[in-house]
Chains A and B, each alone.
Chain A
């Protein structure tokens, strides 16, 4: 069974979701993600679905529960790399995932996280800087 790789990439935590997901993997993977979020103080967890060609409601539950858990640590889940046929099937299936954002690919994810990092430092700068006259 291939196991997902979790890597830190700039401000992102990059999780390669394995092609096939079974019960035991999900629990282990979620725990590994939470540990890594804490370790790297990640703000964005990118779930890379580019290897996944079937996404049933079991995957949906994995995405949803992981999003809720990381949210309690201040990190946001973003999906990336969903294939067209998978997207079509997910929506037919009724998997709306209203609270979960997505980007097209890793390039878009990096652009988003860099933009957020810049915005974050601006806000921090404004808060700690001297009040404007």
Chain B
């Protein structure tokens, strides 16, 4: 299963996050996991709209034996990130944000990888695996 959402403005980032949540719901992720995935997508998709101006978010379903996961690929052809280590530091921002976008998204997901070169755009690949099938929210359960 594959979904692609073009990102040209802030409102598209919201759409990408909603698609991510929908896929996470379909795959049986828990409510907290759904929220983490959609929030991570929103963070990096807003970054595309803000810094690159144009790009896309692609969602894939992962299946590895009994494990089910979601892969999010965020690609843009914007200015790129000169110092990736710096961009992944909490509190670092070149814009007007809180500087939590990239490091925050990384914490919310299981894996997070950035490929970027100044002038050649940025591609972020991040994945999250469903913890277990009985982790779904049960009414009345804890």
| A contact set with B: CB distance below 8 Å | 20, 22-23, 53-58, 60-61, 64, 84-86, 88-89, 92-95
Contacts and interface: CB of A to CB of B under 8 A. Distances in A.
B97 interface: yes
Nearest to A22: B10
Given A85-B31, A89-B32, A57 B100 contact: yes
A94 B107 contact: yes
Q: Summarize B's interface: helix, strand, loop or mixed.
A: helix
Given A61-B96, A85-B31, A22 B11 contact: yes
Given A22-B11, A22-B14, A95 B100 contact: yes
Contact of B35 (A64, A86, A95): A86
Contacts of A89: 32, 35-36, 39, 108
Nearest to B13: A22
Contacts of B36: 88-89, 92
Contacts of B35: 53-54, 85-86, 88-89
Nearest to A1: B11
Given A85-B31, A89-B32, A55 B39 contact: yes
A57 B104 contact: yes
Contacts of A60: 98, 100
Given A85-B31, A89-B35, A89-B36, A54 B11 contact: no
Contacts of B31: 84-85
B76 interface: no
B104 A94 contact: yes
B42 interface: yes
